Amino acid sequence: MTAGTREHSRGASPDRLAQIVAEIGAAAGAGVDRLAGVGLDAAVEVSGASGGELRLLRSDGRLERSAWRGVEPHGCPTWSHALVAGGAELGRLEVWGEELDRDADGALRVVVMCLAQTIENRTLELAAREHRRRGRRFAASVEALRHPAGPGEAVELTLRGARELLGGDAACLLSGRGRLQVASYDGMEPLDTDQAAALVPDGVR
């Protein structure tokens, strides 16, 4: 069997590769995890692999599994490719199997490159959307502070605006002379006395 015939039989013909690129682009709107699954399916298909895994780099620097296909590798040949876009590594894709198609490496690289760029674009799009959302909320908070009903409402609006702007779970106002304590709090969950005290830095308690 020639290399060209093998590629065609495993779905890596130019027409199929173009279709895969289009499928990856179309999956971007469904979210990064869905996109990871579509990309891994394509990588397994074009390489003739029996299984594969895609791990994405999270905000804390850990590689976390986003998609898995097939069976455990159990020592069989494995190909590993970094997902790189914008000069940064976004994750790593691995495929494995006893019948990996050596002639499909070029097609696999196309899939990996397309997937990395699409993930990067989607991540930037979501970040920009979140930035705009926080901006609108901050503007609304500033507008509400122009005419508060009183000092209590002004503090409440300030804390709520700060929490929403930074995307935090809670915000608090510290007050006091010499030793600070929590004077006001805004958060998803109520705090007891010990939890509130823990919000004050050790040096100013």
Best mean pLDDT range from 30-34, 81-85, 136-140: 81-85
Helices (H), the chain: 3-9, 14-27, 32-47, 105-145, 151-166, 193-198
Backbone CA torsion sign across 113, 119, 120, 122: positive
pLDDT at 200: 65
Say whether pLDDT at 5 is over 50: no
Beta bridge partners of 184: 173
pLDDT at 11: 47
Say whether pLDDT at 1 is over 60: no
Find the mean pLDDT for residues 125-140. 83
Q: 13-68: per-residue pLDDT in tens? A: 889 999 999 999 999 888 888 999 999 999 999 999 999 999 999 888 889 999 99
Least confident of 57-66, 75-84, 87-96, 130-139: 130-139
CA distance 108 to 100: 11
Q: 143-198: per-residue pLDDT in tens? A: 776 777 677 777 777 777 777 777 677 777 667 766 666 667 777 676 666 766 67
Q: 89-129: per-residue pLDDT in tens? A: 999 999 999 988 888 888 999 999 999 999 999 989 988 98
pLDDT at 193: 64
pLDDT at 89: 93
Find the mean pLDDT for residues 73-94. 92
pLDDT at 140: 77
pLDDT at 173: 66
CA distance 49 to 141: 54
The residue among 85 and 184 whose pLDDT is bigger is 85
Burial class (CB in 10 A: 0-12, 13-18, 19+), 110: middle
